[in-house]
Chains A and B, each alone.
Chain A
Amino acid sequence: MRCANGIEARQVNEIFINIDPIQAGGRLTADAMKAVIAYGDGYSVCDNCRKPNRLDYISKPPIAEFHRDLAAWLNMDTVRTVPGARRGFQAVSHTYVRKGDPVLLTSLSHYTEFLAVEEAGGIPREIVADADHRVTADATAMKIEEVKREFGRVPVLAFIDHVDYQYGNMHDVKAIAKVTRQYDIPILYNGAYTVGILPVDGKDLGVDFVVGSGHKSMAAPAPSGVLATTKERATEVFRTTSIVGDVTQRKFGIKEPEMMGCTLMGATLVGLMASFPHVKERVKRFDRELENNRIVMEALLSIEGTKVLSEYPRRHTLTRVDTLASFDKVAESHKKRGFYLASALEDNGITGVIPGATKIWKFNTYGMTAKQAKHLADAFVAIARENGLPVT
């Protein structure tokens, strides 16, 4: 079935249980799907844009109210929607980083944080995660001291991922923020895997910026995200334009240069807004998500040779496993080689594992029902047994 010329209708989430590590939290709610249909036209949210002509002032649809609610929900003072978390990193980096400035990242930071630093001319310095793949406050303090020795000054900005994309491990941002505050270093909380998944309280964490991803974790279309700040930082990152045209003498009102004026429009914004009430509720039920993950993990670990590389017990549903001594052993002699695992999963109505991956791979159980978690757990065990792997 095609939805348009040459474009297959996508039915992945209708036909399969999808355990793709980056797709789980971004699946749309029914309300978001409906809003996207209604507001698909380009400038659809601008029907009632009135002076002062900025997206976050529009009251119909209730975009202004959404901004206020979103900031309050994150316990921050000001928020803007952005086209993906990466554009939030970019705005903050561009505001604080100058050529040659050291910037604190971690050995588990997402590549887009590096690119944001690169674009601003900054020099990345990574806090090294420990043997358990956790970034600690002690390691942060050590790195800052190292940077001071190297550059003669402290980093101008720190990016810390609450849950990293590699292991899905949870890092102690609150303790890390306490350290960065002692050195007066602004800290950006990367909540790409947390905002919209579990409760986030920016003030309690003591961070200057909270960045979230709409399409990764807030059941919203791509590209969408949020950038929230404290009142103090808002005047810096969300400063308004002062430029004047030399011939026309034109000025541009209260547009914000770091946001390039208005940010999300149409389907992305209303999708984010429509899912928001559901997202606010679902973060309160994160324990159920962990329970589903536990069901799957116990099944996987019952297959002899399988190891979990993420922290365990799990505190997030994004999980990295090592199946070198289990599923990969089968791949050595299987006629489909490493592709047998994804193929067998697909036969069981499961998708999202990279075809060919049998060594070290990731999956995400977020958003599935308990019945689907049980189905997934049983499928892993059945595939192991069918291929002669011992199950305890």
Chain B
Amino acid sequence: MYSLTDLRVILRETAPSHELDTEKRAQAQRLLENLERQVASLKQEMLR
């Protein structure tokens, strides 16, 4: 949930083109990977 918030802020900072520079791209990459881990964990916890 909080990773999504950080991604939301990147969208705000780069509006309207949403062209990400190297730093922002790396930040987005980290957040998306973290998000995937969290989703996997939730799946394991809630759908077992």
Contact = CB atoms under 8 A, between A and B. Distances in A.
Interface string A15-40: 11100000000010110011001000
A375 B16 contact: yes
A29 B11 CA distance: 13
13 contacts: A15-B15, A16-B15, A17-B15, A17-B16, A27-B12, A30-B5, A30-B6, A34-B5, A37-B2, A349-B15, A349-B16, A369-B13, A372-B15
Given A17-B16, A349-B15, 9 more contacts: A13-B15, A17-B15, A27-B12, A30-B6, A33-B9, A34-B1, A34-B2, A34-B5, A348-B16
For B1, B8, B12, the residue with the greatest tally of chain A CB atoms inside 10 Å of its CB is B12
A37 B6 CA distance: 13
B22 interface: no
In this complex, the interface size class of chain A, counting residues with CB under 8 Å from chain B, is 10 to 19
Q: Tell me the interface secondary structure of chain B in the complex.
A: helix
A369 B24 CA distance: 13
A350 B1 CA distance: 28
Given A350-B16, A375-B16, A14 B11 contact: yes
Interface of A: 13-17, 27, 29-30, 33-34, 37, 348-350, 369, 372, 375
Contacts of A33: 5, 8-9
Contact of A16 (B2, B5, B16): B16
A113 B12 CA distance: 33
B17 interface: yes
Q: Which 3 A-B pairs have the closest CB atoms?
A: A349-B16, A14-B11, A30-B9
B1 A13 contact: no
B9 to A, nearest CB: 4
A14 B8 contact: yes
Nearest to B2: A34
Nearest to B6: A30
